Amino acid sequence: MPDVIWFNRPTIEQLRAPSRTLDTSLGIVFTEIGDDYLKATMPVDERTKQPFGLLHGGASVSLAETLGSTAAYLCVDPAKSNVVGLEINANHIRGVREGVVTGIARPIHIGRATQLWEIRITDQQDKLVCISRITLAVLARV
């Protein structure tokens, strides 16, 4: 893979542009974009917990999909292509009751027809909470 993978590398401020989406409802905030990764945080609060007081697995998957889908989109020419999710999986390693979790998406494969991303979600002590992989199709714009 090239040193810098992005077709379009926005600033963090551009990624944080206000929207009325699931991301903002869950408090997901993009925090960093590196040469080959995208990072965001999500609070563990009443929006993201399950009834037993732990971070909801679905919230972790939402963070993973937000990171993977956004990163994949930034790797294509938006005038020519779009990306759509084909499959996502997640292994939940450890529970979290409070604080903030951080997700980092890194590419496994960036191809012409598909992309595969790994997203590692950690707690504030940098302990692994969830590991996820998302596969996306790269489609020609019509």
**CA atoms of 53 and 98, how far apart (whole Å):** 9
Alpha-carbon gap, residue 19 to 26, rounded angstroms: 12
Q: Which residues are catalytic?
A: 65
Bridge partner list, 55 = 49
Sheet holding 99-110, edge to edge: 29-33, 38-44, 99-110, 114-122, 128-140, 81-92
Residue 118's DSSP bridge partners are 106, 133
* Residue 119: exposure state from Cβ atoms within 10 A (0-12, 13-18, ≥19): buried
